[in-house]
Amino acid sequence: MDFLSSIVKTTIPNYLSGLPIPNTFGGWFKLGFTDYLSLIPPTLFTAGAVYTAYVAFCPAAGNSGICRRKIIKRVNNKIRMDEAKVVDMIDIEDISEKAAFCRCWKSKNWPYCDGSHGEHNKECNDNLGPVVVSRKQK
């Protein structure tokens, strides 16, 4: 514990006080090459801390995959856009043995699933799938 205490109380403050940080804006132009080299480690540490905080607290930054980069406000982008709410009533008697209903809004055979969620699952490492309704065996 003394080792950690000496680093926090002595080593880091001594290191930071020895950095060539000028008092004026014009002082940055008077620094030499070695002065700039000595500023690289604290700059990288600060940039890493800021980036880590950004990823931790910014909701759109968490995953760098394609799905997190796109902020999609709508789920349904193509099915019966002229209606205020898309509602389908399907009589259970019309289902032969079983039917798979789409939950991803990407099906070209709406409201039935055609497997369009597969590409989305590969791109986004997601686990979307259909709702499967089957007739009870007598």
Instruction: Check whether 38 has a pLDDT greater than 60.
Output: yes
Q: Which of 70, 73, 85, 122 is catalytic?
A: 85
Within 8 A by CB and 6+ apart from 89, the residues are none
**Mean pLDDT calculated for residue range 114-135:** 83
Which of the four pLDDT bands, split at 50, 70 and 90, describes residue 127?
A: confident
DSSP the chain: -HHHHHIIIIIHHHHHHTS---SSSGGGGG--HHHHHHHHHHHHHHHHHHHHHHHHH-TTTS--SHHHHS----S-SSSSTTSSS------GGG-SSEEEE-SSS--SSTTB--STHHHHHHHHT-----EEEEPPP-
pTM of the model: 0.42
End-to-end CA distance of the chain: 72
How far is CA 68 from its chain centroid? Answer: 4
User: Amino acid identity of 76?
Assistant: N
Instruction: Check whether 100 has a pLDDT greater than 90.
Output: no
**Mean pLDDT calculated for residue range 68-88:** 72
pLDDT at 65: 47
**Mean pLDDT calculated for residue range 83-102:** 79
pLDDT at 6: 84
Q: Please give the Cα distance from 121 to 47 (Å, whole number).
A: 33
- Is 85 annotated as catalytic? yes
